[in-house]
Structure 1
C-alpha cells in the first residue's frame, strides 16, 4: 500500500511558499509604488499599504511557525499557523479584489498565493492527523 509522507509534503510547500512570498512581496511593493506615482486619486493608499505590511508580517510568522512545528512534530505550532492562514488569506483577497486600484498582474500573483495557502491548509490538517498518531515500531 502506498503511504504518502504528509509531513514532507507540508514542509516542501512551506519551503516553496517562503521563496514565492518573497517574490510576491517584492512585486507588490513595486506595484504599490507604481500606483502611488501613476494614479492621483488614491484615497486608500495608506490602508492598502498597511494591509500589505500586515499580510507580510503574518505570512512570515506563519511560515516560520509552521515549519518549526512540522519539523519538531508538535501540533500546537501547526494549529496556530493554520489559524494564522485566515487573516493572511483575507489580506491577500483584499489586495486582489477590494484594493483601490488593481493591476492585472496582481490577480495572477494573489491567485497563486491563495493557491499556496489552500494547499498548506489541506496538508497542514493532514499533518496534524499524522502527528496525533503514535508511531508504529516493527
Structure 2
C-alpha cells in the first residue's frame, strides 16, 4: 500500500513550486496579451482575468500552506480544509482554460497540468484523511 501521507506531501511540495511558476508565466502572458492585442484586449477583460489569477493565487497559497502543515503534523481537519479550497482553485484554472476571452496554447497546457496535479492531490488527500482520522489502536 502506498503511504498516502508521503505521496500527499510530495504532491504538495511539487505544487508549491509549479504553481509559483504558473502564476509568474500567467502574469507574463497577460502582459504579452496587453502589448500584442492592444485595443482588442479591453481593460475590463484584462482586469477580470488578472483578478481571477490573483484570487486563485491567494487561495492556492493558503491551500498549499494548510496541506503541507497538515501532512507534517498529522491533523486531518487541515487536509479537509485544503481539499475544500481545492475546488475554487480548480474553478480558477478552469476559467483560465475555457472562459478567457483570449487564451494562448501555453496557458491551456500549463493550466491543464495544474488541474491534473490538483486532482491527484485530492485523491491522495482523501486517502490521507481516512488514515489520519481513524482511531489509533495500540496492540
TM-score (norm 1): 0.94
1:66-85 CA deviation, whole Å, 9 max, x = no partner? 11111111111111110000
Question: Which 5+ residue runs of structure 2 have no aligned equivalent?
Answer: none
Question: Which 5+ residue runs of structure 1 have no aligned equivalent?
Answer: none
In structure 1, the residue corresponding to 2:41 is in which secondary structure?
coil
More helix by share: 2
Aligned residue in 2 for 1:99: 100
Aligned residue in 2 for 1:14: 12
Aligned residue in 1 for 2:86: 85
Alpha-carbon distance, 1:22 to partner: 0.9
Alpha-carbon separation, structure 2, partners of 1:136 and 1:21: 38
Q: Note if contact 1:10-1:124 (Cα within 8 Å) is conserved in structure 2.
A: yes
For 1:55-74, what aligned pairs fall within 5 Å after superposition?
A: 55-74=56-75
Matched pairs, number: 136
Aligned residue in 2 for 1:31: 29
In structure 2, the residue corresponding to 1:134 is in which secondary structure?
coil
Q: What is the root-mean-square deviation of aligned Cα atoms in Å?
A: 1.1
Aligned residue in 2 for 1:134: 135
Aligned residue in 1 for 2:121: 120
Q: Note if contact 1:65-1:77 (Cα within 8 Å) is conserved in structure 2.
A: yes
